[in-house]
Structure 1
């Protein structure tokens, strides 16, 4: 594989020379700013061999580098070894940005090429700003992977399907009308939608173009007098086509999107520069006024309606049943027959698949045994599984797609003896998860204001973790969604009632172990006082937390009460849904401390 990567880099450099460019920048995404990608756009993995879900690549005629964040530092170092590609860190102090690296590695008046269909407006602007001092020119190029990638996969042609109103809660016409009213408040005529999960939500459609994400490949423009969905006609059968047209949706071929944009004139267009690709923006900016802002669809999608929230609660019960059954299987199997961490990940999916309405996993399972737990987004195959033994802990981060909702959970469970240091680390991290769960805060608070609650106990002991604490979760959609988040970095989007987020503080000791406890929660109204509106979080996830790993004396009475109350709730919700043979096991898992 390493030799193949070197050959691909040389082929890319040959194409760069033909175009007279000195470097080529690879965004690592697709024209829709997707995190998980259709095979056609897995360009980062193709050119580097790095399999993580986030990373940027820059290739000069002499050097190459890949940037990623702390989730993947260890993984990227291992996967890039021997390829000639340097691993660079992002989202840490003193990180060297791609534009800085390119400025250092290129002489003045060099040309950096890029495919603007797979680069966001914000990313283009950041590169442009970073190159100003060095007098480096950004040059639009064709997608060079078309020239070097033999048998490059086509865009998937799988059928889209309708999400029934009993699950969606609100019809697509009503959603479109609400977006149109909000557009008017921004003085805009048209909103351009390019994110696949936003399109799926807006039109109450789902698909299977992207592994783990039930989305389909498309673009759209909507407004008071516009509702055009650009999608491959093979994806929409005649019955669904009729339904969409009856709801005022005009269907056009996916490949006509950019031509259509170029024909729009004298309009005010609302775009999200953090997600819209620069090629689309550029096509519109020639003849129209542009208004930048967070996607109105993303904001609406993140605030779940009551039907969606009930769907999440239903999915959580099914997920909890599957997880208890799987943990029981693990306990009965360890020490009696050989099971690898990879096989445990497969079993998690098998137990979920027994549940009614299960539609697949929401992301590849992350199972880290012992020192592998420190690899934050570890993905292992059948050939590199590590046998689980009655010793240490296993961390598993996994989730399910159910027709009624999406789940994401992490638990760290003991398979045998652990050190006192591990118990301390586990308890300090758990205190952070409980602290964020119990947060009560005024309306107007953003995720960066809350992040300290998850880190405080760790910080007080000189400890920390490098990734974010909470991300949005879609409704039978992408397991990672915005626009809000809970992390140290500033994000202007508020915490709002109805938003569903993860809560996943963690801790990792490289070469020793990793641990993480993750629940999903929903933002809710708490009370109104003379000092304003106060919000909080209700937990959605139903699964026991391993109390054998806790140093009880490190918990406050309030934290201990929360944990005991949580376990009483888990027991009460799951026991009626479990076969009798699991009842005693569940009672042990939820014992009061």
Structure 2
């Protein structure tokens, strides 16, 4: 069950690999090179073959990039990874750079007087490259596309994934692929085709799933959706059985991946290309072939984010099943932790075991985050054999985990007190809980974006001069990626939240070297009932909770909670007990009676 990836991320390899890269760059006449985390699909998770950033630097986070210059190599990381990066990279060779506060363009201009910076046009988006070019416009530094020099020095690069593709059951998809294709094709509005490069968009559109990317049920592929509703699918033929091809139908044309460029060259007229997700290379290829790139949003992303009734029902079933496994785990943890024999790895292994005991788990939805004491302050901490530490009394244990089931995807975080609660953690824990409750109780007019709701979850912490360096919520796929765009609850999100969107609700607080706190449920945006004083013409939304797992009340300073917050928490726990209690083992049901007791 537990997999230790530390062998792949040895800081000691960073300096010699960096030196080898600089040698190749010098031979090519390049002053630098940009190494993204992304692959051709621009997804959060990449196959081992495409983990160039990790191979070069040792940094394993899910977001970031490196800019290699002659005298400095900056590893750009956001607030989730500022502690983690310092333990994974050779700090004598690489310089962590706080991003997005510092952007690549201005940083390059400050550190390089002139020269050419190379980039792989298949690993960056149009928007990304244009933003850097704009920042360098008044400098003597230019960006030039080139073949990837890392592929030249990475001699033992893994092979591409070849996991079998499979049909996503129609009763769970809620709409036939032909219907989706026709619906989206009719909305192209003058475009002859749309280029699709995100595997989750393609999997949703074609009602297929796969296992090419760990923890995500994806088929690595590219596609072109034509205005007549047909699709050219560029993927390895070995992944598709005759039965699956028959199910896809004659309007889906399976093509070799290497023919994608030729497929682009065959297009004419206006062609939709998403500037935020399609590789930069797509635009020039279309233009050189005589087509006109029309930069607009991937037509699949919003329909995919608005879950239909069948997808919502599947997600509810998955969350009920997952909640039973989580309750069994938390009861086990409360019984075993006082014995003093648990470590972070043993907790991760046990939790996956409880999920697998449902006999319905296809995979965990991401590598479990299990941080005890100071490790909990590392937002996306991944325990390894080297970092594994005991679960000690007097600490908080943060466990962020989830499951992939055929009918849905889950993501849940609970922070649990092990023995005596650290006094300095009580007030922050209570404020995080208040923020999670505030978002759970929120009601807002249709058209309000995630940036507005984000402040509700942060307000209790802000009042105390505290905050957290990650978004409050991300979209979640229906039996797809646990992190799904484009909807978010964050300061930067301007996209309105709509009915059917499923998001996480996960405020947190992290004290470096001491503890981390995060409490997370998944929620579904639904229409709110209009009260007697509501404007008759104003449509309102609110969140329906999907996650029914007890929240540890032992660290809570009850006197800080308002009556409304206490009522919400007590009602939540009463629902947990009613919905989940009858479906767990007798010892866990007894534990739930105590864990769900009113405060």
TM-score, with normalisation over the residues of structure 1? 0.96
Pick one of 435, 438, 446 that aligns with 2:438: 435
Map Cα deviations across residues 276-333 of structure 1 (whole Å, 9 max, x no partner): 1101122123322332222220101001111111111111111111111111211221
Q: Secondary structure at the match of 1:547?
A: coil
SS at match of 1:384: coil
Counterpart Cα distance in 2 of 1:452 and 1:276: 31
1:532 shift after superposition = 1.4
Task: Choose which of 347, 353, 359 in structure 2 pairs with 1:350.
Answer: 353
Alignment of 1:220-231 (within 5 A): 220-225=223-228, 226-231=230-235
Matches of 1:82 and 1:534, distance apart in 2? 50
Output the CA distance in 2 between the equivalents of 1:515 and 1:145.
38
* CA shift digits 1:389-418 (9 cap, x unpaired): 232210100000011100000000111112
* 2:567 aligned residue (542, 545, 561): 561
Distance in 2, matches of 1:285 and 1:360, equals 42
2:521 to 519, 522, 529: 519
Counterpart-to-counterpart distance in 2, 1:122 and 1:256: 25
User: Contact 2:371–2:383 at 8 Å: present in 1 too?
Assistant: no
Aligned counterparts, 1:450-489, within 5 A: 450-489=453-492
What does residue range 56-71 of structure 1 map to in structure 2 within 5 Å? Answer: 56-71=65-80
For residues 48 and 22 of structure 2, the distance between their equivalents in structure 1, rounded to whole angstroms, comes to: 23
Whether 1:394 and 2:397 are equivalent positions in the alignment is yes
Which string of whole-angstrom CA distances, capped at 9 and with x for unpartnered residues, describes residues 434-474 of structure 1?
Answer: 10111111111110011110011111111111110000001
Distance across 1 between alignment mates of 2:296 and 2:150: 31
From the superposition, tell whether residues 83 and 212 of structure 1 become closer, same or farther in structure 2 (CA, over 3 Å): farther
Give 1:16's aligned residue.
25
Alpha-carbon distance in 1 for matches of 2:385, 2:352? 15
Do 2:191 and 2:227's aligned partners in 1 also have CA atoms closer than 8 Å?
A: no
Say which SS state the counterpart of residue 46 (structure 2) adopts: coil
Shift, 1:83, TM fit: 4.8
Query: Following the alignment from structure 1 to structure 2, what is the Cα–Cα distance between the partners of residues 422 and 82?
Result: 31
What is the SS of the residue equivalent to 1:401?
strand
Give the Cα–Cα distance (whole angstroms) in 2 for the partners of residues 333 and 586 of structure 1. Answer: 16
CA distance in 2, matches of 1:532, 1:292: 33
Q: 1:116 aligns to what SS in structure 2?
A: coil
* Residue 578 (structure 1) aligns with: 584
Structure 1 residues 173 and 8, CA, compared in 2 at 3 Å: closer, same or farther? same
Separation (CA, whole Å) in 2 of partners of 1:533 and 1:474 = 25
Partner of 1:155: 160
Aligned to 1:289: 292
Question: Paired residue for 1:49?
Answer: 58
What is the aligned partner in structure 1 of residue 244 from structure 2?
240
Contact 1:2/1:83 (8 A) holds in 2: no
Of 378-387 and 213-222, deviating more is 378-387
Deviation at 1:231, TM superposition (A): 0.8
In 2, Cα distance between the equivalents of 1:417 and 1:285?
65
Match of 2:146 among 136, 141, 149: 141
Paired residues for 1:485-496 under 5 Å:
485-489=488-492, 491-496=493-498
Instruction: Indicate conservation of the 8 Å contact 1:48/1:83, yes or no.
Output: no
Which stretch shows the higher mean deviation, 317-326 or 219-228?
Answer: 219-228
Structure-2 separation of matches of 1:581 and 1:527: 39
Calculate the aligned-residue CA RMSD, in Å: 1.3
Q: Is 2:44 aligned against 1:40?
A: no
1:459-516 deviation line (CA, Å, top 9, x unaligned): 1111111110000001111110111110011x33210000000000001111111101
Q: Is the 8 A contact 1:395 1:514 kept in 2?
A: yes
Matches of 2:410 and 2:216 in 1, distance apart?
A: 12
The separation in 2 between residues aligned to 1:120 and 1:346, in whole angstroms, is 38
Mapped to 2, the partners of 1:159 and 1:574 lie a distance apart of: 35
Q: What's the counterpart of residue 6 of structure 2?
A: none
Query: Is structure 2 residue 179 aligned with structure 1 residue 174?
Result: yes
**Does the residue aligned with 1:214 lie in a helix, a strand or coil?**
coil
What is the total number of aligned residue pairs between the two structures?
584
Match of 1:591 in 2: 597
CA contact (8 A) 2:57 2:90 kept: no
Aligned to 2:550: 544
Cα offset for 1:63? 1.7
1:57-81 Cα offsets, whole Å, 9 max, x none, are 0111222110010000001122224
Between 333-342 and 555-564, report the one with greater CA deviation: 333-342
Cα offset for 1:262? 2.1
SS at match of 2:315: helix
Alpha-carbon distance between aligned partners in 2 of 1:581 and 1:62, rounded to the nearest angstrom: 61
Q: Identify the residue that residue 324 of structure 1 maps to in structure 2.
A: 327
Q: For the Cα contact (< 8 Å) 1:120–1:277, is it kept in 2?
A: yes
SS in 2 for 1:183: coil
Following superposition, the deviation at residue 7 of structure 1 comes to 1.3
Quote the offset at 1:423 in angstroms.
1.1
Name 1:90's counterpart in structure 2: 99
Q: Distance in 1 between matches of 2:439 and 2:118?
A: 44
Cα distance in 2 between the residues matched to 1:342 and 1:284: 49
Asked if the contact 1:3–1:83 (Cα under 8 Å) also holds between the matched residues in 2, the reply is no
Q: What does residue 124 of structure 2 align with?
A: 119
Task: Give every structure 1 segment of 4 or more consecutive aligned residues whose post-TM-superposition deviation is greater than 4 Å.
Answer: none
C-alpha separation in 1, matches of 2:466 and 2:372: 21
Taking structure 2 as the reference length, the TM-score comes to 0.95
What is the deviation of 1:531?
4.2
For the 8 Å contact 1:179–1:223, the answer to whether it is kept is no
Equivalent in the alignment of 2:3: none
Q: Is the 8 A contact 2:415 2:517 kept in 1?
A: yes
Q: Is the 8 A contact 2:328 2:585 kept in 1?
A: no
2:35–2:67: 8 Å Cα contact kept in structure 1?
yes
SS in 2 for 1:511: coil
Match status 1:375 vs 2:384: no
2:15–2:90 Cα contact (<8 Å) kept: no
